[in-house]
């Protein structure tokens, strides 16, 4: 089938849909209806969504839920979460309630430095670059003054610029390694604008003062932010650690610690362990209009910082006190980007009390820790499938278009029976 198209981006939205339906769904009577049924009836709101990206033909909805009862540094939050996976919001809520009665979560921002780099090659004498760089370094600050003016007023800006010689790993390769403080903005556009000006200044001065050929390769921020760190933790007496009558608090603590240690030393387990943490983190990052792909990349890189992929959370028992904590890099913003455009994002941030970027870092880290606690508690006691499949039951019932009456009967039935896909199918057949 001929599927290439010329000038697609110049077509109207309706014309784009016509081409998609005609080309890919000639026998699918409902394709156009499915696409259009997710349009917002509010034309102004739909236009806003259309202009977030290119070639928009519909909206793709994800559930927007909330996890209440999070006590963080003595303040109570209801945390917005955007995610499609069953049981994530329920698990976070359950962990929040458990720790609410045990002093809540403590969180602190350790540092907020972000990084950007100008990558370039130089085929002359590497030693010549050091005095050259030291001489022109003030120009980088001067030439970006128009870009940094408002950020400087808010207490942020360019912190430092270093010249790094990387020729041992790649011939003629050097970089500027710049550090930034972007306050309540995630700061990607600010950092990239500064870096591009650095590159312009560098090339201009190099052409005049250096003997060799200096070539700019690229200028871009890094999503690896190991100095933009937040820590969250919970602690309580071991004797207060479990509500499960089938296991003693001491036995539960021991199993929990072992589970964390396994994730610390076994990468196959660590990846799944950390994925569960990211269930909570991504859901809040997405609900608050931040870039979850950047957050994922940076956090997983941090989990590998020792050269081996390992757990993001850690646990210990000292003198009868159980402690569980997480330390992760998070580059987040509460101003700019979608935070001021998307109506639900604005609502989510308002629900959180219009937090600063630092406060949002703490909230997000706590949600990841809560998610991990809930998962490990299930895994080391009842197993994770019992609760997960009960939450997944509704998805299976909807898949088979169960009526409200059928749902009521089947939910009652599976309160005392194990949920599996085949068991639900059999139960549906039997009542039909």
Q: Which residues are catalytic?
A: 85, 275, 291, 388
3-state secondary structure the chain: CCCCCCCHHHCCHHHHHHHHHHHHCCCCCCHHHHHHHCCCCCHHHHHHHHCCCCCCCCCCCCCEEEEEEEEECCEEEEEEEECCCCCHHHHHHHHHHHHHCCCCEEEEECCCCEEEEEEEEECCCHHHHHHHHHHHHHHHHHHCHHHHHHHHHCCCEEEEEEEEECCCCCCCEEEEEEEEECCCECCHHHHHHHHHHHHHHHHHHHHHHCCCCEEEEEEEECCCCCCCEEEEEEEEEHHHCCCCCCCCHHHHHHHHHHHHHHHHHCHHHHHHHHHHHHHHHHHHHHHCCCCHHHHHHHHHHHHCCCCCCCCCEEEEEECCEEEEEEEEECCCCCECHHHHCCHHHHHHHHHCCCCCHHHHHHHHHHHHHHHHHHHHHHHCCCCHHHHHHHHHHHHHHHHCCCCHHHHHHHHHHCCCCCCCHHHHHHHHHHHC
């Amino acid at each position: 089938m001929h599927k290439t198209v010329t000038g697609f981006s110049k077509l109207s939205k309706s014309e784009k849909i016509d081409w998609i339906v005609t080309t890919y769904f000639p026998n699918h009577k409902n394709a156009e209806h499915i696409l259009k049924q997710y349009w917002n009836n509010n034309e102004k709101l739909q236009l806003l969504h259309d202009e977030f990206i290119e070639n928009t033909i519909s909206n793709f909805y994800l559930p927007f839920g909330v996890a209440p009862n999070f006590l963080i540094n003595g303040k109570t939050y209801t945390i917005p979460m955007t995610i499609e996976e069953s049981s994530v919001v329920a698990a976070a809520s359950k962990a929040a309630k458990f720790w609410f009665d045990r002093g809540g979560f403590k969180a602190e921002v350790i540092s907020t430095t972000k990084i950007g780099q100008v990558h370039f090659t130089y085929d002359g004498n590497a030693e010549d670059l050091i005095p050259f760089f030291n001489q022109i370094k003030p120009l980088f600050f001067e030439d970006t003054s128009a870009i940094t003016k408002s950020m400087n007023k808010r207490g942020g800006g360019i912190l430092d610029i270093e010249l790094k010689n990387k020729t041992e790993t790649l011939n003629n390769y050097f970089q500027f390694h710049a550090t930034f403080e972007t306050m309540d903005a995630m700061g990607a556009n600010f950092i990239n604008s500064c870096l591009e000006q650095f590159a312009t200044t560098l090339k201009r001065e190099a052409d005049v003062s250096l003997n060799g050929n200096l070539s700019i390769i690229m200028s871009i921020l890094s999503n690896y932010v190991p100095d933009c760190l937040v820590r969250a933790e919970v602690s309580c007496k071991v004797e207060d650690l479990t509500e499960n009558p089938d296991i003693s608090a001491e036995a539960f603590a021991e199993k929990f610690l072992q589970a964390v240690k396994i994730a610390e030393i076994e990468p196959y387990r660590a990846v799944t362990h950390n994925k569960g943490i990211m269930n909570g983190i991504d859901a809040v990052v997405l609900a608050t209009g931040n870039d979850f792909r950047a957050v994922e990349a940076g956090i997983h890189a941090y989990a590998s910082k020792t050269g081996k992929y390992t757990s993001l959370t850690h646990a210990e028992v000292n003198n009868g006190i159980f402690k569980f904590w997480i330390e992760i890099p998070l580059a987040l913003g509460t101003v700019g980007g979608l935070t001021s455009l998307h109506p639900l994002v604005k609502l989510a941030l308002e629900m959180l009390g219009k937090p600063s970027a630092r406060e949002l870092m703490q909230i997000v880290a706590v949600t990841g820790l809560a998610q991990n606690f809930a998962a490990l508690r299930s895994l080391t006691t009842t197993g994770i499938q019992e609760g997960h499949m009960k939450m997944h039951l509704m998805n299976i019932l909807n898949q088979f278009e169960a009526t409200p009456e059928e749902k009521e009967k089947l939910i009652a039935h599976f309160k005392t029976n194990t949920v599996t896909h085949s068991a639900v199918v059999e139960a549906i057949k039997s009542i039909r």
